[in-house]
Amino acid sequence: MNQLDRKEGAVSQLAQRSRRYGAPMKNDRWLLNIVAPNFEPDTVGGAGEVMIQLIGNFLRLHPNLRIYLNENAATFFPQWRGRIVEIRTGKMRGNAAKAAAMLRLGVSGKGLPREGVTWFPFGTMLPFHFNGKGVVTIHDTLDRDFPLCVPFLERKLRRFMIPRTLKRCAVVTSSQFSQERIRWYYGVESTVIPLAPIPLPSPAAAIVPAKPHVFYAANAWPHKNHEFLLRMWREDARLREIPLVFTLGSGLGALGSSIARCKAHGVEIYITGRLSRSELALYYQSALCSVLPSLYEGFGLTAQESLLANCPALVSDRTSLTETVPSDYPYVLPLETRVWTETILALRIAPKQDFRKWASRTTWVEAAGKYLEVLDEVRGV
């Protein structure tokens, strides 16, 4: 067994351990670097939300940390002032500009830590010649399983960087499904740390459809499978009595023409854009149900978010989504339009029930503590 195998084996045992960090760590003198210059808060997805929640708890449990963000992202988090190290990346609007910026930064390493204990939240190690001790989070293997759902340049960057990263870093993922896929594609073990629901504040005052709606909080990435819903509403007139609400915070993407066709059939479709947490709470609480008909998810945080808001979440039976909810949860559905249509229509007359009982009891303090166990172990390897 080589040194890398021993390191991975040691880290993979951490999930079995009982030690927990529920209070500030006694050994907080070592410096933790969090390197995320590719984080763009205005187009944040699930991985970004995870990073935000974990950093908030790291600051309490292990306050000796530095957070490396690009100059745009740094302005969104005044509460982290004094811990942020700004990295100049230039504008990263569009996939090509972002990939080019990360390539330049990976080669130059300008402003990034090259040693120490470092967490890389977005799957790739930066700089390329990092020589410290690292932990990388890989939530999914979308670029391998559904390559056409990932932009060309991002896919190429992942194919180049992830194998290099895994030679240097221990791996954390958020589901057993992703753990198995990482093992299959890369031949390495990873530690599964399940994610917690993100708490929602009290609902904000906002304009929502007058009738109970079906709500899908997701960006327009192809694997989110909005087309499945649009086809259902076009093909079954009964559904047209129910408004369909998409967030699509990063824009319509390739969905513009499909949405226009649906509206031509008399479907009420609302596009909210990016919502605040309090606005999100209102849309969940006024919805007939939320939906997650994804072809692929590394975890599926929005399903838990919906349940925590006492809104039934209909989820597909694909990939990790069967882990996101309890095994006996009644609304894990095959991706068949007939099944989804009848389930949605049945909810209109179903008696009220408490869907919060299906939400995970895992907390972000627990998740952050498990991350710190992995980082502390890597530090000592």
For the stretch 75-128, pLDDT in tens is 999 999 999 999 998 777 777 777 788 888 889 999 999 888 999 999 988 898
Q: Quick one: pLDDT at residue 5? A: 41
Q: Quick one: pLDDT at residue 114? A: 86
| Long-range contacts of 339-345, Cβ-Cβ distance < 8 Å, separation of 24 or more | 340/228, 340/232, 340/291, 340/293, 340/314, 341/232, 341/236, 341/238, 341/239, 343/314, 344/214, 344/239, 344/242, 344/288, 344/289, 344/314, 345/238, 345/239
Task: Give how far the C-alpha of residue 74 lies from the chain's centroid of Cα atoms, to the nearest Å.
Answer: 20
Q: Determine the residue type at 81.
A: R
Per CATH, 3-196+363-380 and 213-358 having the same topology is answered: yes
Q: What is the CATH number of domain 213-358?
A: 3.40.50.2000
Tell me what the pLDDT averaged over the chain comes to: 89
Task: Give the Å distances, CA to CA, from 311 to 3, 61, 278, 280, 344.
Answer: 48, 32, 15, 12, 13
For 290-315, give the DSSP string. Answer: EEE--S--SS-HHHHHHHHTT--EEE
Q: Quick one: pLDDT at residue 18? A: 32
Beta-carbon neighbour count of residue 254 at 10 Å?
Answer: 11
Any residues with CB less than 8 A from the CB of 354 and at least 6 apart, and which? 310
Q: Where are the domains of the chain?
A: 3-196+363-380, 213-358
User: Distance between CA 117 and CA 165 in Å, rounded?
Assistant: 14
Q: Quick one: pLDDT at residue 249? A: 84
Q: Quick one: pLDDT at residue 24? A: 56
Token duo for residue 336 = 């068949």
For the stretch 273-313, pLDDT in tens is 989 899 999 999 999 999 999 999 988 899 999 999 999 99
Query: Which residues of the chain fall below pLDDT 50?
Result: 1-19
DSSP state of 347: H
For the chain, give percent helix, strand, coil, nearest 5: 45, 15, 40
CATH 3.40.50.2000 fits 3-196+363-380, yes or no: yes
Q: Quick one: pLDDT at residue 21? A: 52
